[in-house]
Structure 1
Amino acid sequence: MARVRIIGGGLTGILAAFEAHRLGAREIVLEDALDRLGGWSLPRVSHGVELRDGEFAFGPAQDPIRQALEWRGVAFDEVDLHDGAISPSPNGPRASWGEGPVLSADVTTPSAAAQPETLNDILRAYPRSAADPLAHYCQWRLGVWLDQVHASAAPALGLHQVRLAPVGEASSPNVSSPRRGAVPRDGLNGLFTSASRALARLGVEIRLHSLVSPREVAQACGEDETVVWAADPMPLFDLASHKAPKPRLIGERVASYVFRARLEAPLPLTVRNYTGEGKVSALRVYQSRGETLVSVECVDEVGDEPLRAEVLRLLAPFARRPMILDACVLTNMRTRFACPSVEAVQRLDRLEVELAQRFQGRFLVAGWESADAGARISGLTDRMARSLGPAARISAVA
């Protein structure tokens, strides 16, 4: 019987285990270095309240990731997801409802960028009046030349949602156009707990506190085993036949803060700052156990007083009345690698081809950051089906 070994117990690894079982595999091992599944998406908990410092919402009913989790018993609540943007304009910051920036331009339809490779290739499609503030915003976030950043970073920066408005068009911050989505009924911790139980019911062996190297995994990979590397892919370069320094990553320094708050606004609410000014890049307002919390992402550390002032200023256009920020209950510093460099993408592509040839398609890489997680899981499912061969019998009921 074909064996599937999955390295990395974040959401990608969990979904890979579900898909492997759906494809007919029955000997599945899921390994993670932490003490429980969930990876770096696991929020801290204080007195039962989740202190989240990242994304927490899922898509509508047809979202394939949500469907896969619901199929295994994870409960979701349908909600309206409210998004706001603070965009730069000649007359000062401009508040609008929607996920992406709204920029004034004489030409409101960008030219088509044929197969863009870098962020700069994407920006060149916009008129100068929009491209310049977008470039300023990206450099504020990343601090590097944009020709070094791969085009796949655009969704992580909100550049897939840019709207060009005629010069002089008034913004409409008081009209909300929510998108339909869902949040886990029992929070993110509840989601991973439910998923862990579902995996156990399927017979998946879960190994925690398991820290393995790519070389160890490769040496143990037999002819009847498929390996899915769903962890950080950078250590995989140790397996490359041509030894060279690992590609340079683009690390986005993120300082996160979570406040208790009193706020009257449509929730859950996400506000993104596209001005490239100040310290706050994103705000997420959500409820956990009846409490309202504001999760703040900053491009660098900032003192308490100026941070509170900036949060209140950015949220003011979207609140029904002035909000009150209470105690700060979480401070966290991390480096996020959601914006890959051109070099990293090119070399990882070559490495995947090399591993596919060396292991006859039985060593699959699934952990590379991508804004379209559904497409990533779909592609992984296709490759697992080919690797498992006769064992890949898709059934209606797993």
Structure 2
Amino acid sequence: MKPVRIVGGGLTGILAAFQAHRLGARQIELHERLDRLGGVALPKLENGREMREGCIYFGPEGDPIRTLLEEHGAIFEDFDNRFGSVSPGAYGPVYLDDFGGPALPATKTDLQPLSGNSLGDRLDCYEDALAFPLARYVRWHVGCAPSKLHADAAIPLAINRVFPTGIPLDTLSASKRADGHANELFGIPRSMWNYSSNVQASLPVGGFTSLIDKCREALDAIGVEVNERSLARPNKLLSEIAPDEVLVWAASPMPLFKAVGLEAPKAPAKKFATYTFEVDWTGAKPFYVQNFTTDGSCFRVYIYESRGATLLTAECVAETESDELAKDIRFLLDGFEGELKICDQLYRSIKPRWLYHTVDTVNKLGELRTALGARLGDNFVAGAWEAYAKGAKFAEVEADLQKAFGVRMIAKAS
């Protein structure tokens, strides 16, 4: 079996090591530039409490990622997956339970065919009553026109499906059942649709810090050579990689462009602010709310428990004063069951996010894959750079590893 070298010790890199081992690899090296594994999945700790930037969940029992992690000692606890959204309405904000996307007035389910690969092209499929507020939301959230972003940016922006509130539910249901294009672009709140696949979700017992610690123990137990504080230099690495060695690049692909003589893409120059508070909250936990009104600065609120404390993370499109942020948070939670008291601010972070890929980025990542494939063949495995959802990343890396090892498919992501 071919030896495997993995660059990047985030969750994708860790899972790639477990996947490679499951496929039969026994010589596996994992290189991480920081002093511990975890990447963006590893939250900062304040007095033992996790300051989570974004809401990362796992699936219920049977989810392929969860199953693989459980095979290596991780323990998960299920919870009722509760969420909601706030959208602009004709007479004020529209609060909606069981739906994490925008709910907007519409008059018809007719859609135009998708004519290109930009987010602008995707929004142009809708009638103007839906397309215009969605485009306004994109500009507020990311700071650029939808035409600049790739269509898949709809997923991290949470606008991949829209609930058209002016359409009779039976008409909308029939349209979704009969037309795959409509099913992809329109959504219905879970409770109205009898949709049950995401009713349950799970989180690691003890939090993400405990999960990563268990993963590190498991990697050691199966003989993976973990190298922390190991900065992979692409030119050197590509020149020394053995002909029969599999290279998995689960880190940022940006350093690879120069190494193969390609121009690197430029991500949108946008920084986001994240604030974490200790709170008293009588509603559901965990719970998150997406904001599509473009009012204020907060686009998502996430409430969760860590070490016996209830914490609230507010993700914002820009820095904001504490009084204004508290007002934004209360506005987003006002239409949902639960009483809120905001206590101490525990954490603040200002940084860009590698989530909202431009059309140029996706095109150039394709060129990079082609160049590395020409150089290393099937022995090069990209870390599912473009994908946002964990399941999609997992499935892509699994398929590419199987191709590298010449084995048949043995697992699927849900």
Q: Do the structures match in fold with TM over 0.5?
A: yes
Cα contact 2:384–2:393 (8 A) shared by 1? no
Distance change in 2, residues 1:282/1:110 (3 Å): farther
Q: How far did residue 376 of structure 1 move?
A: 2.5
What residue is the counterpart of 2:16 in the other structure?
16
What residue is the counterpart of 1:363 in the other structure?
380
**Using the alignment, how far apart are the partners of 2:117 and 2:213 within structure 1?**
39
SS in 1 for 2:334: helix
Distance change in 2, residues 1:106/1:192 (3 Å): same
What residue is the counterpart of 1:218 in the other structure?
238
What residue is the counterpart of 1:161 in the other structure?
161
**Using the alignment, how far apart are the partners of 2:113 and 2:387 within structure 1?**
20
Cα contact 1:81–1:180 (8 A) shared by 2? yes
> 1:244-323, aligned counterparts within 5 Å?
245-321=263-339, 323=340
Q: How far did residue 250 of structure 1 move?
A: 2.2
What residue is the counterpart of 2:144 in the other structure?
144
**Using the alignment, how far apart are the partners of 2:43 and 2:204 within structure 1?**
13
Cα contact 1:37–1:196 (8 A) shared by 2? yes
Q: How far did residue 87 of structure 1 move?
A: 0.4
What residue is the counterpart of 1:197 in the other structure?
217
**Structure 1 vs Structure 2: percent identity of aligned residues?**
35
Cα contact 2:112–2:124 (8 A) shared by 1? no
Instruction: Spell out, residue by residue over 1:156-214, the C-alpha distance to the aligned partner (whole angstroms, 9 max, x if none).
Output: 01112311111799xxx9x8997211111110101111111111111001000011221
**Using the alignment, how far apart are the partners of 1:20 and 1:126 within structure 2?**
43
Instruction: Spell out, residue by residue over 1:194-250, the C-alpha distance to the aligned partner (whole angstroms, 9 max, x if none).
Output: 111111111001000011221121011111211000000111111334x4x321212
What residue is the counterpart of 2:179 in the other structure?
none
Cα contact 1:23–1:393 (8 A) shared by 2? no
Equivalent position to 2:405, from 374, 388, 397: 388
Cα contact 1:262–1:292 (8 A) shared by 2? yes
Cα contact 2:84–2:100 (8 A) shared by 1? yes
> 1:101-250, aligned counterparts within 5 Å?
101-107=102-108, 109-111=109-111, 113-114=113-114, 116-166=116-166, 179-241=199-261, 243=262, 245-250=263-268
Distance change in 2, residues 1:205/1:184 (3 Å): same
Worse overlay, 380-389 or 299-308: 380-389
Do residues 46 (structure 1) and 63 (structure 2) align? no
The TM-score, its normalising length taken from structure 1, stands at: 0.92
Cα contact 1:50–1:187 (8 A) shared by 2? yes
* RMSD between superposed Cα atoms in Å: 2.3
Return the letter of the residue paired with 1:79.
F
Q: How far did residue 11 of structure 1 move?
A: 0.5
Worse overlay, 184-193 or 59-68: 59-68
**Using the alignment, how far apart are the partners of 2:267 and 2:343 within structure 1?**
37
**Using the alignment, how far apart are the partners of 2:199 and 2:377 within structure 1?**
43
Cα contact 2:34–2:228 (8 A) shared by 1? yes
Worse overlay, 338-347 or 56-65: 56-65
For structure 2, which runs of at least 5 residues remain unmatched after alignment?
Answer: 170-188
Cα contact 2:135–2:145 (8 A) shared by 1? no
Cα contact 1:24–1:394 (8 A) shared by 2? no
**Using the alignment, how far apart are the partners of 1:111 and 1:128 within structure 2?**
11
What residue is the counterpart of 1:328 in the other structure?
345
Q: How far did residue 363 of structure 1 move?
A: 1.9
Worse overlay, 114-123 or 184-193: 114-123
**Using the alignment, how far apart are the partners of 1:15 and 1:306 within structure 2?**
40
**Using the alignment, how far apart are the partners of 1:116 and 1:266 within structure 2?**
40
SS in 2 for 1:329: strand
**Using the alignment, how far apart are the partners of 1:160 and 1:134 within structure 2?**
10
Cα contact 2:384–2:396 (8 A) shared by 1? no
Worse overlay, 281-290 or 358-367: 358-367
Return the letter of the residue paired with 2:392.
A
Q: How far did residue 367 of structure 1 move?
A: 4.7
Distance change in 2, residues 1:105/1:23 (3 Å): same
Cα contact 1:251–1:336 (8 A) shared by 2? no
For structure 1, which runs of at least 5 residues remain unmatched after alignment?
Answer: none
Cα contact 1:22–1:394 (8 A) shared by 2? no
SS in 1 for 2:232: coil
Moved over 4 A (4+): 175-178, 392-395
What residue is the counterpart of 1:62 in the other structure?
62
Distance change in 2, residues 1:110/1:217 (3 Å): farther
**Using the alignment, how far apart are the partners of 1:63 and 1:377 within structure 2?**
11
Q: How far did residue 116 of structure 1 move?
A: 4.3
**Using the alignment, how far apart are the partners of 1:278 and 1:213 within structure 2?**
42
Equivalent position to 1:345, from 344, 351, 362: 362
Aligned residue pairs: how many? Answer: 387
Cα contact 1:254–1:333 (8 A) shared by 2? yes
What residue is the counterpart of 1:99 in the other structure?
100
SS in 2 for 1:281: strand
Distance change in 2, residues 1:110/1:208 (3 Å): farther
Q: How far did residue 113 of structure 1 move?
A: 3.4
SS in 2 for 1:286: strand
SS in 2 for 1:258: strand
Q: How far did residue 55 of structure 1 move?
A: 2.1
Q: How far did residue 110 of structure 1 move?
A: 4.9
Cα contact 2:112–2:126 (8 A) shared by 1? no
